C-alpha cells in the first residue's frame, strides 16, 4: 500500500505542489499510528492500568490529584521492578492521603507544585516508555474513577508524545525555580533495567537499522538501475497513442510492473556484486558500531570523572559549611546564651536581696535637728521682715503725719524696724490680718510644692511669689519711705514710678525678702524629705518599684535567650539539611565506579550482540541474493510508476489546455491508485516487495 508520503510525492510530480493540497484528503494513514478516544470512566481506568502494567523502562505522570490507591500500588510495584517513575502532583491536602514519601525512598522523583495566586497545577497526562501518551480530563483520583464524566486520548503519535514530555520537563523546572516543594529523589538509585533497554535501542538497534538500511539502499540501487528517460518516454508515447485515455492506463501499469519484477530477478554478475558489497558493508558497519560504542564509553568515563570531581568538591564545601555552623552554634550556646543566663541569675540575686533586706530607714537626728532649727530661724526672719514691711506700707506714713501735727518726732523710716511688729499689733485688728497676709502670700508661693506635684505650676507660683509679690512689696516699701522723707522735708520732689529702680531701699527689700523665701523653700523641702524617707510606706514603694524594674530586666533577658535558641534551632535545621546532602553526595560518589562498570558491561554486551546481529542480517541478505528473494521496497515500484506517469502527463499538458490536462492528469492518478489498491486486495504484488 502507498503511504501518505509516497502518494503525495506522486501527486507533486503529476500535478505540481500547488495543485495537490486538497486533492488527496483521503483516509490513508501510516500503519504505525494508533490513536483512540475513551469516554467511559471504567474503560479509561482499565486502559491506564494496562499501559502502566506494560511499561518497560519509564512512567511519567502529571496529575493534579492522585488519590487512587490501586494505581498507586501498581506504580509502586513497577518502581520495585526497576522502572523509572517520575510524578508531578498538586501540593494540596488531598494528595497527602497516599504515602508519596515512600515512593521517593524507593527511587521515584515526586514534584509537588504549589498554587500561585488563584492558579494551580491542572495537568492530567501520562507518558509510557517515551512512546505512548494518555492525555485528557482524567485525574488519577477515586472521584474521577467512580463519579466524574471524563475522557482521554491514547496515542503513539511521536510529535504529541514529544510535546507532552517537553511540557513535563518544563513543569519540573518551573517548580524548582518557584521553590515549590519538591521531594528529593534518591540520586544514588541506579536505573539498570531502563539503562539496558535505552542503550540497546540507542546503540545496538541503531547500528543494525543503519546496516539494513544501507543494504536496502544497495539493493534498491541495483534494481533501480534502469533507463529513466526511456521509461518516461514510454509513458509519453503510451499517452499519445491512446490520446491520454486513463482507462487503458491499467494495462500500461501492468507492463511497468512486469518489467519491475523481471529486474528483481538478479543475474549472476549482479549477485556477485551484491554479495561483495554486503561483505564490505558488514565489516564497515561492525567497525563503525565498535567505534561508536568506544566513543560512548570514553565519553561516559570523562563524565564519570567530572561527576567524581564535582562530588568531591561538593563534599568539601558541605563539610566546611557544617563545621562553620557547628562553631556558630557552640558560640551562641556557650557564650551568648550563657552570658544572658548569668545576667538573669545576677538580677535574680538582686531581687532576692531587695526582698530579704528591706527594713524601715533609721531616723537621722543629726540631720533633722539642724534642718528644724534652720526652718524656725528662716520662718522667724520672714515674719519679722514682712511685719516691718507691712508696718511701713500700712501705718508709717499715717504715724508720721500724726506725729508732725502733735509736734513730736516721727519714727525713723527703716526697712527693718524691730518695733514694727509691736507697733502693728498696737493698731486695730486689721494690723494683725495685714501681717498674716503679708507673710503668708510669699511663704505659700515659695512652699507651693506642698500643694501640687506639677512642675510647671510649682515654677510659675514660685516665680510669682518671689518676683512679683516680693517685687511689689519692695516697690511699696520704697515708696512709703520716700514719702516719709518728703513729709519731713528731706526730699523735695514728689515720688515717681521710675524712682524705685534708683532707690536702694527697693533693692534691699527685694533681695532680703527673696533670699529669705529661697532659703525657706529649700529648708522646708529638706525637712519634708527627711520625713518621707522615714515613712515605711514610701520606702516599701521604692523597694517594690526596684523589684519590678529588676523583674522587667529578667523578662527582657529571657526574650534574648529565646531569640538565641530560635537562632540555634534554625542553624541546626540547616545543618540537618546539609548533612542529608552530604550523605547523598557521599553515596553518589561511592556509586559512580559501579555505575561506570555496569555501563561498560552493558556496552560490551551490546557490542557482542550487535556484531552478531549485523552478521546475522548480512547472512540473511546473502541468502536472499543467492536464492533470488531480495526484499525490495515498494518505493522502488512507486518510483517507476511516478516516472511513467510523468511521461503520461507530459503529453497531456502538451496536447490539451491546462484545465483539461489537469482533469485528465487527476483521472490518471486516481486510476494508478485504484490499480495499486486492486493489486493489494487480490494479493498480486510480488512477495519480495516490502510494503
DSSP string, 111-143: EEEPPBTTB----EEEEETTTEEEEES--BSHH
Q: What is the number of structural domains in the chain? A: 2
Of 535, 563, 579, the domain-final residue: 535
- Whose CA is closest to 436, among 418, 447, 426, 421? 421
Contact 47, 76 (CB under 8 A): no
Backbone φ/ψ region at 417: left (φ over 0), alpha (ψ -120 to 50), beta: beta
- According to the 3-state scheme, what is the secondary structure of 614-678? HHHHHHHHHHHHHCCCCCEEHHHHHHHHHHHHHHHHHHHHHHCCHHHHHHHHHHHHHHHHHHHHH
Final residue before a domain boundary, out of 506, 535, 564: 535
Grid cell, residue 216, equals 536496502
Q: Read out DSSP for 411-437?
A: PP--SS-TTHHHHHHTS-HHHHHHHHH
**Domain end (from 133, 162, 186):** 186
Residue with cell 490529584: 65
Q: Which residues, in sequence order, are bridge partners of residue 59?
A: 85, 128
**How many CA atoms are closer than 13 Å to the CA of 624, on its beta-carbon side?**
19
Question: Torsion angle of alpha carbons 43, 45, 49, 51, nearest 10°?
Answer: 60
The reply to whether 126 falls in a domain is yes
* Gap between the Cα atoms of 688 and 632, Å rounded: 6
Q: Is residue 506 part of a domain?
A: yes
Rounded to the nearest 5 degrees, what angle is found at the Cα of 393, between the Cα atoms of 389 and 396?
100
> Do 220 and 633 meet the contact criterion of CB atoms below 8 Å apart?
yes
Distance CA 83, CA 108 (A): 9
* pLDDT given for residue 457 in this prediction: 75
Tell me which of 529 and 168 has the higher pLDDT. 168
Over residues 421-437, mean pLDDT? 66
Between residues 79 and 210, the one the model is more confident about: 79
From the CA atom positions of the chain, what is the Rg in Å? 59
CB 393 within 8 A of CB 480: yes
pLDDT of residue 199: 39
- pLDDT-derived band at 125, boundaries 50, 70, 90: very high
Q: How far apart are CA 3 and CA 602, in angstroms?
A: 37
- Look at residue 51 and tell me if it is in a domain: yes
Distance CA 412, CA 410 (A): 6
Residue 564 lies in a domain: no
* Cα within 13 Å of Cα(459), Cβ side: 3
pLDDT of residue 13: 44
Asked whether the predicted pLDDT for residue 12 surpasses 60, the reply is no
How far is 20 from 284, CA to CA, in rounded Å? 42
Q: Is residue 42 part of a domain?
A: yes
| Cell numbers placing 75 | 506504580
Site of grid cell 561492525: 286
Of 312, 273, 334, 252, give the one whose Cα is nearest residue 564. Answer: 334
**In-domain check, residue 311:** no
DSSP string, 33-85: --EEEE--HHHHHHHHHHHHHT-SSEEEEEES-B--HHHHHHHHHHHHTT-EE
Reduced to 3 states (helix: H, G, I; strand: E, B; else coil), residue 402 is helix
* Confidence band of 442 (pLDDT split at 50, 70, 90): low
Question: Each residue of 232-288: pLDDT tens digit?
Answer: 888 898 888 888 888 888 888 888 888 777 766 654 566 677 778 778 878 888 888
Domain with 510 in it = 365-535
497: pLDDT strictly greater than 90: no
Q: How confident is the model at residue 70 (pLDDT cuts 50, 70, 90)?
A: confident
% of the chain exceeding 70 in pLDDT: 73
**Average pLDDT, integer, range 130-143:** 87
Q: What is the CATH number of the domain that holds 36?
A: 3.30.870.10
Question: Is-above-0.75 flag for pTM?
Answer: no
Predicted confidence at residue 377, as pLDDT, reads: 85
Closest CA to 310 of 585, 669, 691: 585
- The β-bridge partners of 36 are 154
Q: Which of 198, 183, 196, 54 is nearest to 126 (CA)?
A: 54
Sheet strands side by side (includes 58-63): 35-38, 152-155, 132-136, 124-128, 58-63, 84-90, 109-113, 182-183
Distance in angstroms (rounded) separating the CA atoms of residues 187 and 194: 15
Residue 203 CB neighbours (<10 A)? 19
Phi, psi of 515 (to 5 degrees): -60, -45
Q: How far apart are CA 99 and CA 72, in angstroms?
A: 9
Q: What is the DSSP letter of 363?
A: P
Q: Which residue has the higher pLDDT, 457 or 201?
A: 457
Task: Encode pLDDT of 536-584 as tens digits.
Answer: 555 666 777 788 888 888 899 889 889 988 999 999 888 898 888 888 8
Pairing of strands 58-63, 84-90: parallel
**C-beta separation of 341 from 558 below 8 A:** no
Instruction: Look at residue 628 in the predicted model and tell me its pLDDT.
Output: 60
Are 385 and 512 spatial neighbours (Cβ–Cβ below 8 Å)? yes
- Residue 158's CB is within 10 A of a number of other CB atoms, namely 13
C-alpha cell at 394: 500700712
Q: What pLDDT is recorded for position 676? A: 78
pLDDT of 316 above 90? yes
The span from the CA of 151 to the CA of 136, in Å, is 6
Among 371, 355, 393, residue whose Cα is nearest residue 482: 393
Q: What is the mean pLDDT of residues 496-502?
A: 83
Residue 126 and residue 58 in contact, taking contact as beta carbons nearer than 8 Å? no
Contacts of 78 (CB under 8 A, 6+ apart): 52, 53, 55, 59, 85
**198, part of any domain:** no
Residue 658 grid cell: 491546462
In a domain, 246, yes or no: no
Q: What is the mean pLDDT of residues 592-604?
A: 83
Average pLDDT along the chain? 76
31, pLDDT greater than 50: no
Calpha distance 283→425 (Å, rounded) = 151
Amino acid at each position: 500500500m502507498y503511504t501518505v508520503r509516497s502518494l503525495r510525492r506522486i501527486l507533486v510530480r503529476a500535478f505540481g505542489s500547488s495543485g495537490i493540497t486538497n486533492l488527496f484528503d483521503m483516509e490513508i494513514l501510516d500503519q504505525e499510528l494508533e490513536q483512540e478516544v475513551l469516554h467511559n470512566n471504567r474503560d479509561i481506568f482499565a486502559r491506564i492500568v494496562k499501559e502502566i502494567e506494560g511499561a518497560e523502562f519509564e512512567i511519567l505522570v502529571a496529575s493534579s490529584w492522585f488519590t487512587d490507591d490501586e494505581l498507586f500500588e501498581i506504580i509502586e510495584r513497577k518502581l520495585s521492578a526497576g522502572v523509572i517513575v517520575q510524578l508531578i502532583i498538586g501540593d494540596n491536602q488531598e494528595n497527602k492521603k497516599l504515602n508519596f514519601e515512600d515512593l521517593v525512598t524507593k527511587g521515584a522523583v515526586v514534584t509537588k507544585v504549589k498554587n500561585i495566586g488563584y492558579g494551580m497545577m491542572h495537568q492530567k497526562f501520562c507518558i509510557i516508555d517515551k512512546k505512548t501518551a494518555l492525555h485528557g480530563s482524567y485525574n488519577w483520583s477515586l472521584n474521577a474513577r467512580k463519579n466524574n464524566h471524563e475522557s482521554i486520548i491514547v496515542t503513539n503519535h511521536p510529535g504529541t508524545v514529544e510535546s507532552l514530555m517537553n511540557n513535563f520537563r518544563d513543569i519540573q523546572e518551573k517548580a524548582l525555580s518557584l521553590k515549590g516543594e519538591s521531594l528529593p529523589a534518591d540520586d544514588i538509585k541506579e536505573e539498570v533495567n531502563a539503562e539496558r533497554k535505552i542503550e540497546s535501542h540507542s546503540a545496538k538497534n541503531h547500528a543494525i537499522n543503519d546496516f539494513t538500511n544501507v543494504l536496502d539502499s544497495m539493493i534498491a540501487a541495483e534494481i533501480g538501475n534502469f533507463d529513466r528517460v526511456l521509461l518516461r518516454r514510454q509513458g509519453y508515447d503510451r499517452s499519445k497513442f491512446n490520446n491520454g485515455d486513463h482507462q487503458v492506463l491499467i494495462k500500461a501499469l501492468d507492463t511497468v510492473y512486469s518489467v519491475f519484477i523481471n529486474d528483481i530477478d538478479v543475474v549472476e554478475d549482479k549477485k556477485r556484486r551484491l554479495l561483495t558489497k554486503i561483505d564490505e558493508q558488514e565489516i564497515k558497519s561492525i567497525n563503525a558500531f565498535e567505534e561508536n560504542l568506544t566513543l560512548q564509553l570514553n565519553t561516559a568515563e570523562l563524565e564519570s570523572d567530572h561527576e567524581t570531581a564535582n562530588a568531591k568538591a561538593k563534599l568539601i564545601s558541605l563539610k566546611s559549611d557544617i563545621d562553620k555552623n557547628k562553631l556558630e552554634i557552640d558560640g551562641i550556646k556557650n557564650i551568648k546564651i550563657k552570658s544572658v543566663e548569668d545576667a538573669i541569675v545576677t538580677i535574680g540575686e538582686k531581687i532576692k536581696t531587695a526582698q530579704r533586706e528591706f527594713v524601715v530607714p533609721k531616723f537621722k537626728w543629726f540631720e533633722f535637728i539642724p534642718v528644724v532649727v534652720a526652718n524656725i530661724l528662716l520662718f522667724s526672719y520672714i515674719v519679722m521682715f514682712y511685719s516691718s514691711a507691712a508696718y511701713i506700707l500700712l501705718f508709717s506714713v499715717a504715724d508720721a503725719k500724726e506725729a508732725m501735727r502733735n509736734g513730736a518726732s516721727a519714727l525713723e523710716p527703716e526697712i527693718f524696724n524691730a518695733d514694727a511688729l509691736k507697733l502693728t499689733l498696737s493698731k486695730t485688728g486689721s494690723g494683725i490680718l495685714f501681717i498674716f497676709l503679708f507673710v503668708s502670700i510669699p511663704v505659700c508661693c515659695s512652699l507651693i510644692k506642698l500643694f501640687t506635684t506639677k512642675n510647671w505650676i510649682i515654677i510659675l507660683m514660685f516665680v510669682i511669689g518671689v518676683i512679683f509679690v516680693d517685687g511689689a512689696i519692695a516697690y511699696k516699701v520704697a515708696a512709703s519711705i520716700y514719702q516719709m522723707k518728703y513729709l519731713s522735708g528731706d526730699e523735695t520732689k514728689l515720688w515717681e514710678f521710675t524712682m524705685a529702680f534708683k532707690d536702694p531701699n527697693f533693692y534691699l527689700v527685694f533681695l532680703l525678702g527673696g533670699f529669705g523665701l529661697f532659703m525657706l523653700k529649700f529648708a522646708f523641702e529638706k525637712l519634708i524629705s527627711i520625713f518621707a524617707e522615714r515613712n515605711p510606706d514610701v520606702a516599701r514603694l521604692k523597694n517594690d518599684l526596684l523589684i519590678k524594674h529588676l523583674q522587667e530586666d529578667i523578662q527582657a533577658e529571657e526574650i534574648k535567650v529565646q531569640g538565641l535558641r530560635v537562632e540555634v534551632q534554625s542553624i541546626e535545621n540547616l545543618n540537618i539539611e546539609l548533612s542529608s546532602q552530604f550523605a547523598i553526595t557521599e553515596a553518589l560518589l561511592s556509586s559512580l565506579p559501579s555505575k561506570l562498570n555496569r555501563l561498560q558491561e552493558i556496552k560490551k554486551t551490546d557490542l557482542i550482540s550487535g556484531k552478531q546481529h549485523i552478521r546475522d542480517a548480512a547472512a540473511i541478505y546473502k541468502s536472499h541474493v543467492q536464492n533470488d528473494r531480495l526484499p525490495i521496497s515498494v518505493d522502488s515500484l512507486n518510483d517507476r510508476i511516478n516516472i511513467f506517469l510523468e511521461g503520461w502527463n507530459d503529453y497531456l499538458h502538451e496536447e490539451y489546455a491546462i484545465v483539461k490536462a489537469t482533469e485528465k492528469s487527476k483521472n490518471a492518478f486516481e486510476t494508478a491508485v485504484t490499480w495499486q489498491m486492486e493489486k493489494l486486495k487480490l494479493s498480486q504484488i510480488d512477495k519480495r516487495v516490502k510494503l
